[in-house]
Structure 1
Amino acid sequence: MTVLAEMEALGVRPNSMSYAHLIEGLGSKGRTLEADVLFQEMICSGLRPRIRVYNVMLRGCLKKGLLELATGVLAVMGDLVAEKNEETYEILLDYYVSAGRLEDTWSTINEMKRKRFRLSSFVYSKVIGLYRDNGMWKKAMDIVGEIREMGMALDKQIFNSIIDTFGKYGELDEALEVFDKMKQEGVKPDITTFNSLIRWHCKAGNISKALELFTEMQEQGLYPDPKIFVTVISRLGEQGKWDVIQKTFENMKRRGHKKSGIIYAVLVDIYGQYGKFQDAEECISALKAEGLIPSASMFCVLANVYAQQGLCHQTVKVLQLMEAEGIEPNIIMLNVLINAFGVAGRYLEALSIYHHIKESGFSPDVVTYTTLMKAFIRAKKFDKVLEIYKEMERAGCTPDRKARQMLQVALMVLQQRYCE
C-alpha cells in the first residue's frame, strides 16, 4: 500500500495485475473496505477485472455480511458482461445458505442449472444443509438417495453434511453410523466432521462421548479448532467440572502444538475462572508475545468466550482491540456482541448493536435475528420478539427452528396476557 501511494504521488497507475494482487492481499487480511476502494478505482481507470478479482471481492464482502457491497460487485459484473463461473456461484450459495436466505439459494441453484453447470458435491452439500436448517431433514436424506442414483460417490463434503443433519435433529446414533461408513469407504474425516459430532453430542448432554471423539480427533493428527474447544469446555464448565477442563488441556499440551497452545490456555483460564486472562487486553498481549498473529477468527473466538460468560465489557474491548489491529469487524463479531449484552440482560444495548449492523451496511443473518430474539426472551420483552421475527421475514431470511420456537413462546405469553 505504501508503494501504491508513492506510485500515485508520481502520477503513475498500477496495471490490472497489480490491482488484482493488491485486492487479493487486502481481502486475505480482512481489509474488505480498502479492497473495495481499489476495486472501484480499478473500474474507474477503465480496467476490466478478471473473474478471480470479482470472486475475491464477493467472498470478502459476503464473509463480513456486507451484502450491499457484494450486490454492487455483481452489478459491475453485469455492466461489464463478466460471466459468473462455478466458484462465483459457490461463493453465493455458501453465503445464502448460512444466512438463511432460502429464496436466493434456490434462485442461484436454478441459475446454475439453466447455465448447465454440473452440480458438484459442494452444491449438493449446501442443498442438504438448506433442508436441514429448515426442519426438513428427511428431505435432506432423499438428496443422498438422488446422489447415489446418479452414481456420484459420497465425498467428504456430503458425508459431513449428512452427519451434521443427523446431529442437529438428535439422531446421534445415525450420525455415528454414517461416520463409521465414511471411514469404511476410505474417506478420511476432517476437522469439520469431528467438530460436528462433538458439537451435537455436547448439546445432547453426552459429554463423555464428545470427549471420546475429541481424543480420537487428536489421535488422527487433527488439532482442535478453538471454537469446538470452547464448546467442550463450556459444557464442562456448566457442569462444574473444572478438573476435567484442566485435564483435557493438559492432555492436549502433551500432544504438542506448543505454538498455538497459548490460545487454549487463555480459553481454559476464562472458563475455569482462574483470573489470569480475565482482561481482554492481557489475552491479546499474551497471544502476540507467543508469536501468534491476531486474525478475525481468533478475535471472534475470544469475544465469544467473554460473551458466553456475560462479560460484555470485555467483549466490547475485544472488538476495540480487533479494530486497533486494522481488522474490520465482521457480522460474526457483531452477532457475538449482541449475545454478550443479551446474556448480561442488557437488551437495549443488544438492540443498538442490531441497528448499528443495519446502519453500517452489514446484512443481518439468521444468527443476528435469533440472538436478538433470545435477548428479548431473557428480558421478557415478548412483543419485541414478534417484531424482530417479522423483520427477519421481511429481510428474506428464513426463520430456523430456534426462531420459530421462540416465536411460539412469545405468542403464548402474549396471548395469556391478553386473556388476563
Structure 2
Amino acid sequence: MDVHYLVRRHIQPPLQLPFLQPLPLRCRFRGGGVTLSVACCSTAANDHQERPWESYDRDIQSHASSDLSRSLHLLADMQAAGMRASAAAYARLIRALARAGRALEAEALLLEMRHQGIHPDAAHYNALLEGLLARAHLRLADRLLLQMADDGVPRNRRTYMLLLDAYARAGRLEDSWWVLGEMKRRGIRLDTAGYTTLVRLYRDNGMWKKATDLVMEMQEVGVRLDVKIYNGLIDTFGKYGQLADARKVFEKMRAEGIKPDIATWNCLIRWHCRVGNMKRALRYFAVMQEEGMYPDPKIFVTIISRLGEQGKWDELKRLFDKMKNRGFKDSGAVYAVLVDIYGQYGHFRDARECVAALKAEKLRLTPSIFCVLANAYAQQGLCEQTVSVLQLMEAEGIEPNLVMLNLLINAFSTAGRHLEALAVFQHIKDSGMSPDVVTYTTLMKAFMRVKRFEKVSEVYNEMERAGCTPDRKAREMLHDATVTMEQMGCY
C-alpha cells in the first residue's frame, strides 16, 4: 500500500496558512469561503442608529472568549452602522481567533486595522503570536516577528516570554539563549514563569546540574519557588536518574508548605517506574489518592505496562479495587479499558469498542484521554488501532496535535513500519507544525528498527538544521548507528 495514501486517508490534509495577504476591508472568513461582513447583518438600520458605540464595543470584548461567533457578528453589525471598533476590541478578537486555531482570520483583522488607520501595537501582535506558537507554527511566528519589526512595533516582556516558552518546548536551544540574551540586554528580568521555562529547558537538554545552580540563583534574586518550579526540578532529576535528589526536592517542597499537585506525583511515579522501583512508585500512587488527588490517566499506562511486564496482574486488580472504593469512578473506567488493551481482561480490544465503553460510563472524552489510549496501542505496535484512535478523536471534533502525531510515529516505529512513520513525519511538516525532539528521536528509532542506519544520521542532521537540540537518547542512537556502519565497512 502506498504510505502517502495511508496518511492522506487517515489524517486531514495540511492546513495552509498564507501570511498576511492583503484582503478587502470588509471581508470575513467562514469555513474556507469569503463573505462580506455586511451580509452578516440581520439588524435593521434603525436598530444600528439606536445602539450606541459603547454597547457594541463592550459586548464584542465580553463575548470574544465565550461566544466568538457572536462577537464577530457584532463587529460586522457595528461596521455596517458606520462605526469602528476600538483597538482593545480588536485585540480580544485576534487573541480569541488565534487561540481557536483560526490564524488566517486573526491576520485579516490585523490588516483591517491598518486599513482603518488603527495602528496595531504589541498587544495585537502578541495575541496572534500566542496563537501561532500554541499551534507550533514556529516558521509563521518568525515571519510575524519580522512584520512586527517592519511596522516599528517594539517587542515587550510578553513577546519574549511567549518566544522563550515556545522555543524551549520545541527544543530550539540556540533560539532560547538568544531570547534570554535579548531580555538581559533590555533589562527584562525573568519572573517565576520564566524560571520555570528555564528549568524545563535544562531538563530537556540534559543540564540537570545547571538546574541545581538555578535554584540558588532564584533564591539570591528573591524569586519565590512555586509548585511548577519544584515539579520541573523533580522531573529534571528523575529524567537523568538522580532519584535521590528528586526525593530531596520533594521533601523540601513539602517542608516549605507547598502542596504537591498531580504533576508532582506523576513525576515521582513515572521515574520510579522507569527504574523498576515499583514498590516506591505504588507507595506514591497510594499517598496521592489518600490526599484526595484525582489520578491522571496518563500515569496508568506506565504503571500497567511495568506491572504487566513483571506479571503482577494481581497487584493491578488490587489497585483497581482500591480506586473504586475511593470513588474514582472516571479514572477507574479509563484504568479498566487500559488493562483490557494490554490483554488482561479480554472483553474488547478494538479502539472503537474501548471508546464506546468510556462513553457508556458518561466520561467526557478529552484530548488527554485520546492520547492515553493511543499511547497504550502504540507501545504494543498496534498501528491500525492507533490510527483508529486518531479517527475517533477527529470525529469528536478534536484536532490532532503534535503529541498525537508523535504517538502515531511511535506506533509505526514499534511495528517496524518505517515508511508509514516517515509519511506521518512529512505530514507534520506539511501542516506547518515544527517537529520537536520527540518527533525526530522517534523517527530515528523507526530507522534503527529496520537497520537503515544511514537514515538515522540524516534525521539527526535535519534535527540540528531545524534548530532542535538533540537529547541524550538521540545522541546515543546516532553513536550506535555510526559504530554499526563502521563495523559493516560503511563510511
TM-score (structure 2 length as normaliser): 0.77
* CA-based RMSD: 2.8
Match of 1:187 in 2: 258
Q: Is the 8 A contact 2:132 2:138 kept in 1?
A: yes
Match of 2:111 in 1: 44
Q: Is the 8 A contact 2:135 2:433 kept in 1?
A: yes
- The Cα shift of 1:324 comes to 2.2
Alignment length (residue pairs): 415
Amino acid at match of 2:112: S
Indicate whether 1:319 and 2:319 are aligned.
Answer: no
- Aligned partner of residue 113 in structure 1, secondary structure: helix
Distance 1:180 1:24 in 2: 40
Distance 1:57 1:63 in 2: 10
Indicate whether 1:405 and 2:435 are aligned.
Answer: no
Indicate whether 1:376 and 2:447 are aligned.
Answer: yes
- Aligned partner of residue 45 in structure 1, secondary structure: helix
Distance 2:125 2:401 in 1: 20
Q: Which moved more, 1:163-172 or 1:48-57?
A: 48-57
Matched residues, percent identical?
A: 57
Q: Based on CA coordinates, which of the two structures has the bigger radius of gyration?
A: 2
Q: Is the 8 A contact 2:295 2:331 kept in 1?
A: no
Alignment of 1:20-419 (within 5 A): 31-32=100-101, 35-46=102-113, 54-55=125-126, 57-418=128-489
Q: Is the 8 A contact 2:191 2:223 kept in 1?
A: no
Amino acid at match of 1:262: A
Q: 1:40 to 1:304 in 2, by over 3 A?
A: same
Q: Is the 8 A contact 2:297 2:335 kept in 1?
A: yes
Amino acid at match of 2:108: E
- The Cα shift of 1:414 comes to 0.5
Amino acid at match of 1:222: M
- The Cα shift of 1:352 comes to 1.2
Distance 1:407 1:305 in 2: 27
- The Cα shift of 1:398 comes to 0.6
Distance 1:183 1:267 in 2: 32
Distance 2:92 2:342 in 1: 41
- Aligned partner of residue 116 in structure 1, secondary structure: coil
Distance 1:353 1:182 in 2: 41
- The Cα shift of 1:129 comes to 2.7
Task: Show CA shifts across 1:280-337 (max 9, x none).
Answer: 2223333334333433322222211111121110111111122222322211111111
- The Cα shift of 1:90 comes to 2.9
Task: Show CA shifts across 1:334-371 (max 9, x none).
Answer: 11110000011111111111111112211111000000
Distance 2:167 2:298 in 1: 22
Q: Is the 8 A contact 1:96 1:104 kept in 2?
A: yes
- Aligned partner of residue 418 in structure 1, secondary structure: coil
Q: Which moved more, 1:74-83 or 1:192-201?
A: 74-83
Match of 2:56 in 1: none
Distance 2:346 2:39 in 1: 51
Distance 2:90 2:325 in 1: 46
Gaps of 5+ in 1: none
Q: 1:121 to 1:79 in 2, by over 3 A?
A: same
Q: Is the 8 A contact 1:64 1:332 kept in 2?
A: no
